[in-house]
Copies of this chain bind each other. A is one copy, B any other.
Amino acid sequence: MTITITAFERSPDRGAGLARDMRVRWALEEVGQPYDVRLLSFKAMKQPAHLALQPFGQIPTYEEGDLALFESGAIVFHIAERHGGLLPDDANARARAITWMFAALNTVEPPVFDRALCRILERDKPWYEQRLRALEDSIRNRLGALSRRLGDADWLDGAFSAGDLLMVTVLLRLKGSDILNEYPNLSAYVARGGARPAYKRAFDAQLAVFAAASSE
């Protein structure tokens, strides 16, 4: 059955690979599943046809036969559950890998995403510097804990898993920032994720979409 995902027709990150379809593309590349992409304009994302698939009007979605899913975390989990390579076989190790999936999305991503939004939406507000510092303190709090737990390991718990995949995509939003550079083992972890052939294929695929839209 064909897998179809949705992605931005013209990604606001200009092909930097930070949109959430990247997670799904990467997971599909890791498990070797081909997929089609349906591109959506910002306008189309808010139309009834898309809202029936994604009630919040966002990307990505995932369709396969009569199954339709949304939420990048849920889609990555669905892929990881059905194909080998993203979750360990051992039951306890599998539960721990799933824990890292939730930690990436519910503990580390919120302040990282808020910082990105703040830098776009609040830059001209009188409180900008103070609020940015508060967000960065909150990010440091998370990254410090994550860095101590990772130590000198390659991945968060044994072999590369869907937990690492999501955590790397969250941290990539800080790539090149002073804040990530304060944690050399996390910078190396992000680089290790980005060096995976499946990551590179996924990155190239989303970049090609942006390049095509820009050359129109």
Q: Which residues of A contact B (CB under 8 A)?
A: 51, 55-58, 66-67, 69-75, 77-78, 92, 95-96, 98-99, 101-103, 105-107, 109-110, 113-114, 125-127, 130-131, 142, 145-146, 148-149
Contact = CB atoms under 8 A, between A and B. Distances in A.
A88 B95 CA distance: 19
Nearest to A147: B55
A54 to B, nearest CB: 9
A108 to B, nearest CB: 9
**Chain A interface mostly helix, strand, loop or mixed?**
helix
Given A55-B145, A55-B148, A127-B125, A107 B71 contact: yes
B69 A103 contact: no
B145 A71 contact: no
A56 B105 contact: no
A70 B57 CA distance: 30
Contacts of A99: 69-71, 74-75
B70 A103 contact: yes
